[in-house]
């Protein structure tokens, strides 16, 4: 479904991503983790052709994205960006329906409207549908933006810190929903800062540091004390969660009265 090979991306003279290789098959949920500034958002921007790589290839479903127009990219890839600001007076249902734009020729069809309604139902935003987008809380807005991306019915869903504005219940609800969509075949690539949620939801995790992929594999392979120390400069303990059969990580903190200047 997605094959990234030897990808290098620069901003002007500064190289930000180096020799990234990553592949995803149907239904995979892939987490991208790494410190602030390590290149996670840049990688997502390369996949949507917002940034042109200096070298390397990105192939979606057998086609190099260099050969795809923006509409074709939009039919294949939906993005939920890290920072979203919408200052126009649209209602929530208008915004969600915009997910169908790549498919709409003159005006939306009954099918387009049905898809949007179905997604609003599943993302629990029906009660917001007639509200103005400018009058939502941060968490409500984030759910609407995720709903718009799902309405796009993409083959690949890119999420850049999708749950940063959500309370813990909504984080789990949205990630459950995204996970369910991935089990139906959609590839999910999610930038995540919560390592425990990444361990639980991801089939594969890719760890970036300074634009290089320093580890890729299952959560158990990637979330090791050594890898996390190297990437984040933070000692952690890894434990097994027998109930979920996943791992969780805990930073090893000093007692508060031992924190020195």
Ligand X SMILES: Nc1ncnc2c1ncn2[C@@H]1O[C@H](COP(=O)(O)OP(=O)(O)OP(=O)(O)O)[C@@H](O)[C@H]1O
Q: What residues line the site for Mg ion (CB under 5 A)? A: 41, 82
Three-state SS annotation for 175-199? HHHHHHHHHCCCEEEEECCCHHHHH
Does 31 bind ligand X (CB under 6 A)? Our answer is no
Judged by phi (left if over 0) then psi (alpha if -120 to 50, else beta), residue 39 lies in left
Size of the site for ligand X (CB under 6 A): 11
For residues 66 to 95, the per-residue mask of contacts with ligand X, x marking binding by CB under 6 A and - elsewhere, is ----------------x-------------
- CA atoms of 60 and 146, how far apart (whole Å): 21
Choose the contact partner of 38 out of Mg ion, ligand X, none; CB within 5 to 8 A by kind. ligand X
For residues 36 to 65, the per-residue mask of contacts with ligand X, x marking binding by CB under 6 A and - elsewhere, is xxxxxxx-----------------------
Q: How far is the CB of 17 from ligand X (least distance, A)?
A: 8
Angle (CA) 72-144-138 rounded to 5° is 130
Q: What are phi and psi of 116, to 5 degrees?
A: -60, -45
Give yes or no for a contact between 20 and 43, defined as CB atoms under 8 angstroms apart.
yes
Does 233 bind ligand X (CB under 6 A)? Our answer is no
Q: How far is the CB of 69 from ligand X (least distance, A)?
A: 23
- CA atoms of 52 and 122, how far apart (whole Å): 35
Judged by CB under 6 A, the chain residues 8 through 27 that form the site for ligand X are: 11, 16
Q: Site residues (CB under 6 A) for ligand X?
A: 11, 16, 34, 36-42, 82
């Amino acid at each position: 479904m997605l094959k990234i090979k030897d990808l290098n991306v620069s901003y002007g003279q500064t190289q930000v991503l180096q020799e990234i290789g990553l592949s995803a098959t149907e239904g995979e949920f892939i987490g991208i983790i790494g410190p602030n500034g390590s290149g996670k958002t840049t990688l997502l921007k390369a996949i949507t052709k917002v940034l042109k790589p200096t070298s390397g290839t990105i192939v979606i479903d057998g086609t190099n994205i260099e050969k795809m127009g923006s509409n074709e990219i939009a039919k294949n890839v939906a993005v939920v960006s890290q920072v979203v600001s919408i200052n126009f007076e649209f209602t929530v249902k208008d915004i969600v329906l915009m997910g169908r734009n790549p498919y709409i020729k003159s005006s939306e069809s009954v099918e387009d409207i049905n898809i949007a309604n179905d997604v609003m139902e599943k993302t629990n935003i029906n009660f917001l549908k007639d509200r103005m987008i400018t009058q939502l809380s941060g968490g409500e807005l984030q759910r609407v933006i995720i709903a718009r991306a799902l309405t796009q019915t993409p083959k690949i869903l890119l999420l850049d810190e999708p749950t940063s504005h959500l309370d813990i219940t909504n984080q789990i609800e949205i990630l459950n929903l995204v996970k369910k969509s991935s089990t139906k075949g959609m590839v999910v690539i999610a930038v995540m800062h919560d390592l425990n949620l990444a361990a639980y939801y991801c089939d594969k995790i890719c760890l970036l540091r300074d634009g290089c992929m320093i580890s890729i594999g299952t959560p158990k392979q990637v979330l090791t004390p050594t890898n996390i120390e190297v990437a984040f400069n933070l000692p952690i303990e890894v434990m097994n969660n027998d109930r979920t059969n996943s791992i969780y990580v805990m930073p090893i903190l000093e007692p508060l009265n031992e924190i020195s200047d």
